[in-house]
Amino acid sequence: MTPAQEKAQARARDYFSSKDTLTPVEIRDQIVASFASLEATLAEVPVARAGQRTAPAEWSAQEILDHLVETYRPGVDELRCVLAGQRPPGEPIPAALQSKAPLLRPWAWLREELRRAHDDVVALIDGVSPTFTTAARVPIVMVVNVTEPDGSGRPLHWVEDLGWKAYALTSWRLHAIDHMKQTRKVLAALA
């Protein structure tokens, strides 16, 4: 591992530990804000161009939305598990998970599925007592972009076991923000 990668991993771990003092209400509010921003950005996507890629190696807005739906479904189950004090069974959700046919799914259906997942997450967090604690951890595939000293950038992947607060904020807030930014880049390129 390069020094830049070690530094990126340490920054991520500092972020996780800094969230231990947040209350469920604070976590919920941050997640709700990111969901609202993501949904507002998706509302700007012209349906007729949702499946259009702006570069060969980049996802279209439709592929981004499909990815969110596909990762949120098992993510809701993982959140249920950790809030029940259990480690979710199986492997972590793959970082680039998509359906088998992301461009064949109707845009409106994908948007509705995303809204349902958002509602499920908020309802689960709304049910968390301010005094709730658990030793259960959730394994997630962390992906951070690392800029090396030579200026090259590349993603760094690793599996990290997170407590429920860091898991919720990483899986629901940061993930939504990351793909909202990705969708905004697609919108800018389509313009």
Please provide residue 49's backbone torsions phi and psi, each rounded to the nearest 5 degrees: -115, 5
Give me the half-sphere count of Cα atoms (radius 13 Å) on the Cβ side of residue 54: 16
Helix, strand or coil, per DSSP, at residue 162:
strand
State pTM to two decimals. Answer: 0.93
148 has pLDDT over 80? no
pLDDT of res. 154: 84
Give me the half-sphere count of Cα atoms (radius 13 Å) on the Cβ side of residue 175: 25
CATH number of 3-190: 1.20.120.450
pLDDT of res. 3: 85
pLDDT of res. 20: 87
Tell me how far apart the alpha carbons of residues 175 and 58 are, in angstroms, rounded to a whole number: 17
DSSP 85-142: T-PPSSSPPPTT---S-GGGS-HHHHHHHHHHHHHHHHHHHHT--TT------EEEEE
Structure tokens at 42: 């998706």
Better-scored residue on pLDDT, 3 or 168:
168
Domain ranges of the chain: 3-190
